[in-house]
A = this chain, B = another copy of it.
Amino acid sequence: MTWQLRSVDLPDLARGATLLGTGGGGDPYIGKMLVERVLGERSITILDPAELDDDLFVIPTAQMGAPTVMIEKIPAGTEPTLALRTLEEHLGKRADATMPIECGGINSMIPLIVAAETGLPVVDADGMGRAFPELSMETFAVYGVHGSPLALAGERGEQVIIDTGDDDRQMEWLARGITIRLGGVGHIAEYAMSGADVKRTAVPRTISMALALGRAIRLAREANRSPFEAIADTLAPTLYSHMRELFAGKVTDVERRTTEGFAKGRAIISPLDPTVEGRFEITFQNENLIARHDGAVVAIVPDLICVVDYESAEPITTEGLRYGQRVRVLGISTPDMMRTPDALAAFGPAAFGIAEPFVPVESHDRT
């Protein structure tokens, strides 16, 4: 179903997108402000992926860079549209719609900025089904749509086009090099595809899911109901049907460093009651990658590992983690299309250099 997104929806969408960012994805609140500024009282048309014409021409838009830098370096707001126009000119074809490549964090907002500026509709789908740190970690690529040619725009009007054929990892490598030389943030248009490609390769309805999650958390708080039950109830009928609490406790250690354009590190969470034994550890590279309880893996990428406030369920990014915070860690199952062997090769544990195999978060329930 086609629907209209308005400025009033953006706070809920940002909250949901932070949850789906699983600790990373950049700060959607900055993106939200940019959308609000451009959109005003108008609305953005959101297209249901199942209803797309097969020959609709879609150019996804996004920002790339380390989340740490994104917070410090607020974009002018015109770069994502410049990236889109650069790719349109290169391909000699105008886009009928834009789409996120990632539904978590700031990249849930970038296509909305483009939509507000250009009047283009946005497809309610994405290629990560969460946030991931690299441009090659896309269901688009797993199912045969490649990122090249990619267009990249900088804040001084720089325009770069990168074409590495089917090699999406080399595209990521070169685009990352440009982004670093642009000061840490670049805006991109890539993975241009048809409506038929969207239906075959995208994770569907992730904008509406992010909005529903953010709204459910808010409404539960307002009604003094459990926001955690509200999250679980919202997810149950979606492709992300399983959610459970992996741990509850207090942040007792955080290590992080920004290296090679990524924020890498780990967090330790200890039981609230100091007389209780137990140690919970999360390792992250921009996003949370693996969660261990007393050394045993309880959730692993690409499943979602989300740290939220102990009471309010407000999502907490890896940048926002602080000593002493009382938190809960939620594990959320990813859609089947993100768990195939090809998908796991692109963004499963081995893609991050993690030796442990993927085990679905819901299969740990038995232990």
Residues of B within 8 A of A167 (CB): 156
CB distance from A162 to the nearest CB of B (A): 5
Residues A177 and B181 in contact, CB atoms below 8 Å apart:
yes
- Distance in angstroms between the alpha carbons of A170 and B154 in the assembled complex: 11
Residues B181 and A160 in contact, CB atoms below 8 Å apart:
no
Query: With an 8 A cutoff between CB atoms, is A174 at the interface?
Result: yes
CB distance from A317 to the nearest CB of B (A): 28
Considering the complex, which residues of chain A in the window 171-193 have a beta carbon less than 8 Å from any beta carbon of chain B? 173-174, 176-178, 180-182
Residues B181 and A173 in contact, CB atoms below 8 Å apart:
yes
Specify which of B149, B161, B174 is in contact with A181 (CB 8 Å cutoff): B174
Residue of B nearest to A163 (CB): B159
Q: Contacts A174-B181, A177-B181, A178-B174; is A161 near B158 (CB within 8 Å)?
A: no
- Distance in angstroms between the alpha carbons of A157 and B158 in the assembled complex: 23
- Distance in angstroms between the alpha carbons of A180 and B178 in the assembled complex: 11
Residues A174 and B162 in contact, CB atoms below 8 Å apart:
no
- Distance in angstroms between the alpha carbons of A160 and B180 in the assembled complex: 16
Q: Mark A132-173, 1 if CB is under 8 A from B, else 0.
A: 000000000000000001000000111111111101001001
Query: With an 8 A cutoff between CB atoms, is A257 at the interface?
Result: no
- Distance in angstroms between the alpha carbons of A159 and B181 in the assembled complex: 18
Considering the complex, which residues of chain A in the window 49-63 have a beta carbon less than 8 Å from any beta carbon of chain B? none
Chain A contact surface mostly: mixed
Q: Contacts A90-B90, A161-B161; is A156 near B170 (CB within 8 Å)?
A: yes
Residues of B within 8 A of A163 (CB): 158-160
CB distance from A176 to the nearest CB of B (A): 8
Is the interface on chain A under 10, 10 to 19, 20 to 34, or 35 or more residues?
20 to 34
- Distance in angstroms between the alpha carbons of A157 and B167 in the assembled complex: 10
Specify which of B157, B161, B164, B180 is in contact with A177 (CB 8 Å cutoff): B180
Specify which of B157, B176, B178 is in contact with A165 (CB 8 Å cutoff): B157
Considering the complex, which residues of chain A in the window 288-335 have a beta carbon less than 8 Å from any beta carbon of chain B? none
Specify which of B90, B158, B165, B170 is in contact with A170 (CB 8 Å cutoff): B158
> 4 closest pairs, A vs B, by CB?
A161-B161, A177-B181, A159-B163, A177-B177
Considering the complex, which residues of chain A in the window 84-119 have a beta carbon less than 8 Å from any beta carbon of chain B? 90
- Distance in angstroms between the alpha carbons of A156 and B167 in the assembled complex: 10
Residues of B within 8 A of A170 (CB): 156, 158
Q: Contacts A90-B90, A173-B181, A181-B173; is A161 near B160 (CB within 8 Å)?
A: yes
- Distance in angstroms between the alpha carbons of A160 and B162 in the assembled complex: 4
CB distance from A81 to the nearest CB of B (A): 16
Residues of B within 8 A of A160 (CB): 160-163, 174
Residues of B within 8 A of A149 (CB): 159
Residues of B within 8 A of A173 (CB): 181
- Distance in angstroms between the alpha carbons of A156 and B170 in the assembled complex: 10
Can you list 20 A-B pairs, Cβ within 8 angstroms, ordered by A? A90-B90, A90-B161, A156-B164, A156-B167, A158-B162, A158-B174, A159-B162, A160-B160, A160-B161, A160-B162, A160-B174, A161-B161, A173-B181, A174-B178, A174-B181, A177-B177, A177-B178, A177-B180, A177-B181, A178-B178
